[in-house]
Amino acid sequence: MELQISRGCPSCGAPLEMREDDRLTDCAFCDVQSYLVDPGLRRYLLPLAKTAGRDDAATIYFPYLRFKGTVFSCQGRQVNHKILDTTCRGLDEPLVPASLGVRPQAMRVGVVDNSCAGRFIRRAETAAAILQRAALLAGAGGRREAEPLYHRAFIGETVSCIYLPLAVHDDQLYDEVLGRPLGTIDDWSVDMNGSVRFQPQWQPSFLATICPQCGAVMSGERDSLVIHCHNCQSSWSEKGGKFVPVPYRVVSGGGGAALYLPFWRIGVETTGIEMRTMADLLAVTNQPVVINSDHRARGLEFWVPAFKVRPTALLKLARSATLSQMKYPDGEKKLTRPLYPVTLPLKEAIQVLKSLVAEMTVRKQEFLPQLPQLNVAVRQTSLVFLPFASTGHDLVQIHSSLAVASSIVHYGRKL
């Protein structure tokens, strides 16, 4: 489930409601859209219960790591996946609950910003270590724990830190959300010398949605990671606090396209299991096709959906699009079309590649043990928009046999 977040409009200060995956603000008061700069780890807090005479500076913020996304495991002769939606204690302190349970979803969370007095406790483990633990707890390795695990990837749509506010009154440690005592402070084992005040680099920042190339106002949907300038037909994403151009291509749709779905084109070379061309990919994964000179001339490229869908649909679409990539005729490079928003970050799409090669491979039993040796070096990346016609129930690609149920695509936005 997605978090509901309250924050102030970066332009006029009016209160805004945002969802966890939203990047563009939409303010009813000033009508200005701003783009949220990716802070790396997002920091939220559970709301404090209203108590008279509280000393905010004495609040202790205890960290939980929240992960919402998919774990892919290549194990035995199978590629497994599991959807995780979990919070995990950031350090081992028995006085506080091991997980926040459903609390973050049941209430509106706030954003950690420079108005937060109090001290923040640091996590004892890295985010990666906490995720591994969360995956184990959730049984993401599947039932065949005895089988060797060759590869595990977290395709985390969101990793964030949620703080539980605590306070000490009369030698008791209190959960300040519920106003309930957790135990006596004598049992509290966290060393407060390691805690910190609010750090300036945590302050959320925003960009004005002005096209860096022509100065026109750009637009996108609230969860778009790539926003468009319809004036100069350019696409942009945020990197390091700036908009950077995203090269794109639109496949010809004729008149019949109801929707253009975005795919990341990821040009790579691999070592360990060496692949440089499409011909190499077809041979390594044992595809039942005749390899020709076009395959040998074509650099290795994976096409991965640039939108969130369930893991099975993601792998299936990536596999079909990758194998059919040489079939698509170029269309006019214009953004004035029904484009579905980019909602899966490129770096997440890159994380899928090893699981994708495993999934594509016909002889999994022989291939999967070699997977740890596979190293993927990304050469270039861009976007391609593929036209799909609608049959009502399904979206069907116009030039290939690619198809996906409309409900799967639309459901993915709520994942």
Q: Which residues bind Zn ion (CB under 5 A)?
A: 9, 11-12, 14, 27, 29-30, 211, 213-214, 216, 229, 231-232
Query: CB-wise, 229 or 368, nearer to Zn ion?
Result: 229
Q: How do strand 15-19 and strand 172-175 relate by DSSP bridges?
A: unpaired
**Closest distance between Zn ion and the C-beta of residue 334, in Å?**
13
| CA–CA separation, 290 and 281 (whole Å) | 12
**Closest distance between Zn ion and the C-beta of residue 24, in Å?**
12
Q: What is the dihedral of CA 107, 111, 114, 119, to 10 degrees?
A: 60
* DSSP letter for each residue of 330-370: B------S-BPPP-S-HHHHHHTHHHHHHHH-S-HHHHGGG
Query: CB-wise, 15 or 338, nearer to Zn ion?
Result: 15
Query: CB-wise, 218 or 259, nearer to Zn ion?
Result: 218
**Closest distance between Zn ion and the C-beta of residue 8, in Å?**
8
**Closest distance between Zn ion and the C-beta of residue 232, in Å?**
3
Cβ 354 vs Cβ 374: under 8 Å: yes
**Residues β-bridged to residue 236:** 227, 245
Cβ 374 vs Cβ 280: under 8 Å: no
**Closest distance between Zn ion and the C-beta of residue 236, in Å?**
9
Q: What is the DSSP letter of 129?
A: H
Query: CB-wise, 193 or 336, nearer to Zn ion?
Result: 336
Query: CB-wise, 9 or 162, nearer to Zn ion?
Result: 9
Query: CB-wise, 27 or 164, nearer to Zn ion?
Result: 27
**Closest distance between Zn ion and the C-beta of residue 175, in Å?**
34
| CA–CA separation, 167 and 169 (whole Å) | 7
* Three-class SS state of 38: coil
Sequence-ordered alpha helix ranges (H) in 226-310: 278-284, 293-297
**Closest distance between Zn ion and the C-beta of residue 110, in Å?**
18
Q: What is the dihedral of CA 238, 241, 243, 245, to 10 degrees?
A: -70
Query: CB-wise, 30 or 177, nearer to Zn ion?
Result: 30
Query: CB-wise, 27 or 116, nearer to Zn ion?
Result: 27
| CA–CA separation, 126 and 159 (whole Å) | 12
| CA–CA separation, 261 and 397 (whole Å) | 9
Query: CB-wise, 120 or 206, nearer to Zn ion?
Result: 206
| CA–CA separation, 188 and 184 (whole Å) | 7
**Closest distance between Zn ion and the C-beta of residue 14, in Å?**
5
**Closest distance between Zn ion and the C-beta of residue 219, in Å?**
11
Calculate the CA 67 to chain-centre distance.
Answer: 10
